[in-house]
Amino acid sequence: MSKQVKRKEASELQYWLYSVGNFPNNIIFMMVGTYITYFYTNILQIPAVMAGTIFMVARLVDAVTDPLMGMIVDRTNTKMGKYRPYIIAGAPFLSIMFILLFSSPNIPQSGKIAYAFVTYIIYSLAWTIVQIPQLALPAILTNDLAKRTRIQAIFQAFGSVASLVVSAWALPILKALGGQENAGAWLKFTIIFGVISAILFILSAMSVNDVDVYDPDMKVKERQKTSLKETFSVITKNRALLCVLIAYGTDMFAYQISNSLRIYFFQYNMNGREDLITYIGYASTIVGFALVLFIQPMVKRTGKRMGIIAVEALAVLFTLPMLITGMTGAYAVSAVMFTYIAITFTWTINNMLSRAAVLDSANYAQITTGVNGTALVNSTFTFVNKCCQAFSMFFGGAILTATGYSATLEQQTPQCLKSILLLCTVGPILGYVASIIAMYFYPLSRQGEVEMQKTLDKAVGLVTDNELTI
C-alpha cells in the first residue's frame, strides 16, 4: 500500500499575512455600513427612504452576480492559482468605487440620486469580485476545522483594527480634513484609505502564492461535466449552510441596524456624545486580538453550534440595560456603553464562528453531494452579508422617515428618538433570538465536526507516493 501524504498547508506566518487583507475589507465595509446612510441624507441630501431603496435595488443585482462569481472562481485554474487573480485585479477597482461612493458631484438633486444608484451598484459588484475569493481562500490554507476558526480569529482581529479606525478615528479624521458636513473631507478620507486598501489587498493575496497554485488535476475534473442543478446542490441540499446563513444573517441584521444608527443615537439620543464611539472601537480591537488565543480551544470543546447559541443568548441579556434605561428617558452612559461594548464582544465571536461554519458547510456539501463548490458556498455568505446591510439601512431609513427625522433639525422629535432607541435594542434582540433558533437545527455538533474532520483527512487534498514526481 502506498503511503499517503497531505498536500502543503499554509504556515503560521501565512495565516497572519493573509489575514491582513481583512483590514481593507473592513475599512470599506464598515465605512459603508456605518456612514453611507448619513452621507446620503446629510451630504447628498437624499431622503432616507430613497437611500434605502438604492440599497435594496443593488441586492437584486447581487442575487445574480454573487453566485455567478462563486461559480467562476470555483472553475478558475490559472498559473496564479484559483483565488488570488480576482483579489489582485479587483482591489484597485474596489478602491476606486469606494472613493466615488463618498463623492458629491455638483449636479442637480435628481442627478445625485442617479449618481448614488449607479456608484453603489458598481461598488457592490467590485466588492463581490474581491470578497468571494478572499473568504473562500482559507479552505486551502488548512483542512483542520478548529484551526480554520483560529484563522478566522486572526482575520477578524485585523478587521477589528479597521473597525477601530471607522468607529473611533473616522469622525476626528473627517473633522481634521474639514468636518463631517464637508463633502471634500469625505473625498479626502476615502482617497487615503482607498489607496491603502488596494495595496493591502494585493499584499495579502501575494502572501499565499505557494498555497494558491495551479492544480494539474483540475483538467481531469473538468472532463467530468457537472450540471447546473448538481452545481447548485452545494446550496440547495446543504442544511448546514442554510442554518448558519439564517443564524449569521439575523445576527448581522441586528448588528448592522444598530451600527448604521449609532451616529444618530449618540448625536441625538445622547445629546452629541459622539466621543463615546471611540471607546467602542478600542474595545472591538482588544477583543479581536484576545480571541486569537482562546477561540480554537473553545471551539474544540463546544463546537460551533453550541458556541454561537451561547454567545447569542448573552447578546440578548447584554442589550437589556441600554433598552431599560433608555425607556425611562434618562440615558445612563454606563448602561449604554456596557451594552455596546458587550455586544462588540459577542458579535466578534459569532462572526468568527459563523465564517468558519460556512467553510465547514462547504465541506459538508462536498461530502454529501460529491461537488466541490467552496467559492459558490461562500458567495451565499457574501450575498447575505450585503443583504443584511441593505435591509438594515432600508428598514432604519424608512422608520426614521416615518417618525419625522430631518437632517436640518438640531434635535429630533421624541417619537423619532424613541424609534432610534428601539431600532438599536429591540430589533437586535429579535435577531439574536432568531439566530439561536436557526443554530438549534444546525446538523454538525462537535462530534459531527470531529467525524467530518476524519473524512476530510482521508479524502481531501491527499496524494500518493506514486503520484509524486521525484
**pLDDT tens string 6-39:** 456 789 999 999 999 999 999 998 899 888 988 9
pLDDT at 183 (0 to 100): 93
Residue 221 counted as domain residue: no
Measured CA to CA, the distance from residue 20 to residue 411 in angstroms comes to 41
Secondary structure of residue 5 in the 3-state scheme: strand
Helix (H) or strand (E) holding 113: helix 109-136
Q: How far is CA 61 from CA 20, 155, 453, in A?
A: 29, 28, 36
Residue 2 counted as domain residue: no
Residue 227 counted as domain residue: no
Of residues 391, 390, 301, 310, the one with CA closest to residue 350: 310
Residue 229 counted as domain residue: no
Note if the pTM is more than 0.85. Answer: no
Residue 163's domain comprises 7-214+234-467
Residue 225 counted as domain residue: no
We report the CATH number of the domain holding residue 29 as: 1.20.1250.20
Measured CA to CA, the distance from residue 250 to residue 392 in angstroms comes to 10
Contact indicator for 422, 403 with CB cutoff of 8 Å:
no
Residue 316 counted as domain residue: yes
Torsion sign across C-alpha atoms 289, 294, 297, 302? negative
Contact indicator for 247, 308 with CB cutoff of 8 Å:
yes
Q: How many domains does the chain have?
A: 1
Measured CA to CA, the distance from residue 309 to residue 355 in angstroms comes to 15
Residue 280 counted as domain residue: yes
Residue 23 counted as domain residue: yes
How far from the centroid of its chain's Cα atoms is residue 200's Cα?
17
Measured CA to CA, the distance from residue 289 to residue 159 in angstroms comes to 10
Measured CA to CA, the distance from residue 406 to residue 42 in angstroms comes to 9
How confident is the prediction along the chain (470 residues), in pLDDT tens digits per residue? 334 444 567 899 999 999 999 999 999 988 998 889 889 988 999 887 788 788 888 888 888 888 899 989 988 988 889 999 999 999 999 999 999 999 999 999 889 999 999 999 999 999 999 999 998 898 889 878 778 888 988 998 898 888 888 877 898 899 999 998 999 999 999 999 999 999 999 999 999 998 988 777 665 455 456 667 778 888 888 999 999 999 988 888 888 887 778 888 888 888 888 788 778 878 878 888 888 888 888 888 889 999 999 999 999 999 999 999 888 877 888 998 898 888 888 888 888 899 889 889 988 888 888 887 889 888 888 888 778 777 777 777 788 888 888 877 788 888 888 988 998 898 889 999 999 999 999 999 988 888 887 887 776 544 333 333 32
Query: Per-residue b/e over 357-369, b at no fewer than 16 CB within 10 Å?
Result: bbbbbbbbbbeeb
Query: Residue for cell digits 456624545?
Result: 273
Q: Is 387 left (phi over 0), alpha (psi -120 to 50) or beta?
A: alpha
Secondary structure of residue 334 in the 3-state scheme: helix
DSSP string, 381-433: HHHHHHHHHHHHHHHHHHHHHHTT--TT-SS--HHHHHHHHHHHHHHHHHHHH
